[in-house]
Amino acid sequence: MAYDIDMIKKVYSQMADRVNQAREVVGKPLTLSEKILYSHLWEGKTKQAFKRGKDYVDFAPDRIACQDATAQMALLQFMQAGKKNVAVPTTVHCDHLIQAKMGAALDLVSANKSSHEVFEFLESVSNKYGIGFWKPGAGIIHQVVLENYAFPGGMMIGTDSHTVNAGGLGMVAIGVGGADAVDVMAGMAWELKFPKLIGVKLTGKLSGWTSAKDVILKVAGILTVKGGTGAIIEYFGDGARSMSCTGKGTICNMGAEVGATTSTFGYDDSMERYLNATNRADVAAAANEIREHLTGDDEVYANPEQYFDELIEIDLSELKPHLNGPFTPDLATPISEMRVKAKENDWPLKVDWGLIGSCTNSSYEDLTRAASIAKQAVDKKIKAKSDFGINPGSETIRFTAERDGLLQIFEDLDATIFTNACGPCIGQWDRSDRKGDEKNTIVHSFNRNFSKRADGNPNTHAFVGSPEMVAAIAISGRLDFDPTRDKLLTEDGEEVLLDEPTGIELPPKGFDVKDPGYIAPSEDGSEVVIKVAEDSERLQLLEPFEPWDGKNLMGVKLLIKAFGKCTTDHISMAGPWLRYRGHLDNISNNMLIGAINAFNKKTNFVKSQITGEYDGVPAVARKYKAAGISTIVVGDHNYGEGSSREHAAMEPRHLGVMVVLVKSFARIHETNLKKQGMLGITFENEKDYDLIQEDDTFNLVDLSEFAPDKPLTIEVVHADGSKDTFKANHTYNDSQIEWFKQGSALNLIKIQNNA
């Protein structure tokens, strides 16, 4: 039986009336995305048709999921909200703080020792406030959610950008910052700009070396890392129905890499099979009763160009296997073209590591497809030329895969089976074979491949592919290996061509597990005591940010003008810094240390206008803060791309940054800045970015008139006394301006709770 089945049945009991009302108000057939959005309005049945990409709308999500790295700050904020229990079903999953090094058994013991304080804190807070707790080793948050909590037609939010993975089971699942999650935990509405809609029509059927992963690798190449910003991607067509549920999850998962609000698929037979296989026949039965409302209307899919803001068509029968990268997940290259492209770009051809797993590709089907390739190498006496690492998606997946002999196949190739956790995907990897900044290549089935992300080395060229392609390339040891045409040499000197991969959608003997790793909260957590040591380097109770004084911001100093791509990894790195995710002051020492200074093209080396000397970004920021001087960060396009980590907004706020002025924002990061009481604004004319000089001082001369849809005027005073004045746009509505006035959204919640 499913968790929270009564909640799911309640959602379904309301859906028909709400969808029918929305269809009548909107005056046309509805997409699946619209059905889910309109059936989750905070006000209930809709009274108006919302404008896509324009109207801010209050929603009522069904549930929340948090991973351990982001949960710390989210729960530290929730503790200030003055609530006895979370208002909606919520879970915490410990998957980020486990470093991959020696293998699952040793690595898990090490993590439980090194992060004991954090795990104990998360478990105790969960126990106190009615939150389900998944202990270390239980699995990767998004795989665990898909196996246990996701349900067709539902809406959930999660404090991780890849929450969107649950779209594989027909949800609208959206990644948010912790402050957004706190709103919903506290029983308040969750605000989102009504998304635009991108339709992806899939025809044909996948075969051979082409997999579901190649669909999203292709889409990423089409849309680029910001092409989906502000939109939901809805997949449909015969090709969509032909894919497995976990394959759909893979596609939705990596939709975060194109900036999409989320991605989703309509309910179909593959989802019903998956629900039944994961002991949720009750959910499948309930979904079947309202099946027509759990997919888009027939008219929509018959004439999609009339109902979507953008339409992409992909014939799966013609789709080729891809590798995307390096350094960005949208640089798409068909395997057949890699040999030429790698040579043209001087990418290292020798592959040192092949890594399979992450929240994107760690299902039972993924492991079987990769194992079908690995077994050929074992049987034909082909020794893998690259090191191999495997991260199963959950303890259920691991236990079942071990029972069915899949893990032994990888071990026969000398692969290391890491913990059921994120590991190398989020920089939790103690990679012993590389030191310094040596240029090298790795291939993985993850979702992101930003510079330094996996191992901290800026010269690691990481390429993203399907698990079976990663397996083939790791066995060959070469980036330019095309398994559809290139042969491998056996130990006996024979040249052989690998057979096409084969996969098993669901385990024939069913899923099995001894201990899934779940700990239910106490029915009454009022007596639970949460302790945070004053001298802890891992955890720190939060102090409220100061409210705005209502005056214009004058004399604001430039902290850094970031050049080019500046993701949340650049703003607040993961890897070893994950240990400080619950301690705002300590983790602020990584603020913007990965951003490239536009004036000297160096990282973590900026000029202080107080001393005239250069130092690290956090050190300079702390000196400005100590002197009572507010600062500004200037950035390029899609600023804040990547992870939902709100630390990338909280750290600048903590160290005195009041304004972030960029050419364009990634959606989640812009919201996170707003939630923390900062000004996130964009150049009205992006060429004004070029006016900014190293010793500039900024005056926001009409901030006292801050209002929706009214641009702000910025006066920039240069070192020689000359000035430039230009306009900056913003997307703040009245309630978001109130967050700014009060110093943060959390401050406003506390005021409202105490009223």
Catalytic residue list? 95-96, 160, 448, 643, 645
* Most distant pair of Cα atoms in the chain: their distance: 80
Q: Which residue reads 């506290």 in tokens?
A: 186
Q: Say how far apart CA 550 and CA 111 lie, in whole Å.
A: 46
Q: How many CB atoms lie within 10 A of CB 511?
A: 18
Q: How many CB atoms lie within 10 A of CB 5?
A: 14
Cα–Cα distances in Å, from 287 out to 343, 505, 723?
Answer: 51, 21, 62
Q: Which residues, in sequence order, are bridge partners of residue 59? A: 41, 190
User: Cis bond leading into 618, ω under 30°?
Assistant: no
Classify burial at 611, counting beta carbons within 10 Å of its beta carbon; exposed 0-12, middle 13-18, buried 19 or more: exposed
Tokens of 228: 């989906």
- Sheet containing 322-324: give its strands across: 332-334, 322-324, 460-464, 440-444, 351-356, 387-390, 416-417
Q: Is 463:441 a contact under the CB 8 Å cutoff?
A: yes
Q: Is 250:153 a contact under the CB 8 Å cutoff?
A: no
Please enumerate in sequence order all residues whose Cβ is within 8 A of that of 285, keeping only pairs 6 or more positions apart, or say none. Answer: none
Q: Say how far apart CA 198 and CA 686 lie, in whole Å.
A: 26
With CA atoms as reference, report the closest residue to 673 among 621, 745, 569. 745
Q: How many CB atoms lie within 10 A of CB 627?
A: 11
Q: How many CB atoms lie within 10 A of CB 53?
A: 14
Q: Say how far apart CA 289 and CA 22 lie, in whole Å.
A: 20
User: 649 phi and psi, to 5 degrees?
Assistant: -105, -35
Helix (H) or strand (E) segment spanning residue 31: none
